[in-house]
Structure 1
Amino acid sequence: MPKPTRTSRRTWAVAWVVLCAAGLAATAGLNASSAPDPQPEKPVSAECAEYVANIDRQLAEAEQEGGGDQALAFSRVQGGTGEDCNDELRDHLLGHR
């Protein structure tokens, strides 16, 4: 009966390093390919754009008067006839920090 060939520890270590490197490369490739596509910017309605511009104006006036850069803003258009501008207002104000 022939003796099985013995592989050295160095050969096993090299094999594990190659397998680990291949696994890391495959994981990085999968993570890069599964990144979500950026959401296209949706158009802002005229009512919301006007409302955000009004808030910007009020903030600029408060800053000129030395009142700081704080303001109280409500996210709904007056009268309940318009749309909810919450997302546009939040994105605009958080983008200016």
Structure 2
Amino acid sequence: MSKPISMSRRKWAAAWAVLCAAGLALTAALDASSARDQQPEKSVSAECDKYIADIETQLAKAKQEGTEDGVVALAGVHAGPENDDCSDAFRDRFGGDE
């Protein structure tokens, strides 16, 4: 029976270092490529920008009055395919933990 080939600890450490470096390089390359593939932000209509500005004004006013935990009422926003960009913009701007 043949004797198994033994590797020194330095060779094992060098092999692990090369594998780790390759893994980090590959991860960085994948992260960079996925960042480029993201869709550009859609522009929203002027009407939608006005609604968002009105809401932000109401929120700022409520914060000044010390009632920032209140409810902001929305009026004039109609559901429909023409306002899909508004719903996405509302969700992007106000959908977080604000």
Pair in the same fold by TM > 0.5? yes
- Paired position in structure 1 for 2:12: 16
* 1:47–1:82 Cα contact (<8 Å) kept: no
Q: TM-score, normalised by structure 2?
A: 0.67
Partner Cα separation in structure 2 for residue 77 and residue 93 of structure 1: 15
Q: How far 1:69 sits from its partner (Å)? A: 4.7
After the TM superposition, which parts of structure 1 deviate over 4 Å for at least 4 consecutive aligned residues?
A: 94-97
Aligned to 1:30, which of 26, 30, 35? Answer: 26
Preserved contact between residue 52 and residue 89 of structure 1 (Cα < 8 Å): yes
Alignment root-mean-square deviation, CA: 3.1
Equivalent residue number for residue 89 of structure 1: 90
5+ residue gaps, structure 2: none
Which has the higher Rg, Structure 1 or Structure 2?
A: 1
Per-residue deviation at 1:87? 2.3
Percent identity over the alignment?
Answer: 39
Count of residues in correspondence between the two structures? 89
- What's the counterpart of residue 46 of structure 1? 46
Unaligned residue ranges in structure 1 (runs of 5+): none
Deviation at 1:57, TM superposition (A): 1.4
- Structure of greater relative contact order (alpha carbons < 8 Å, 6+ residues apart): 2
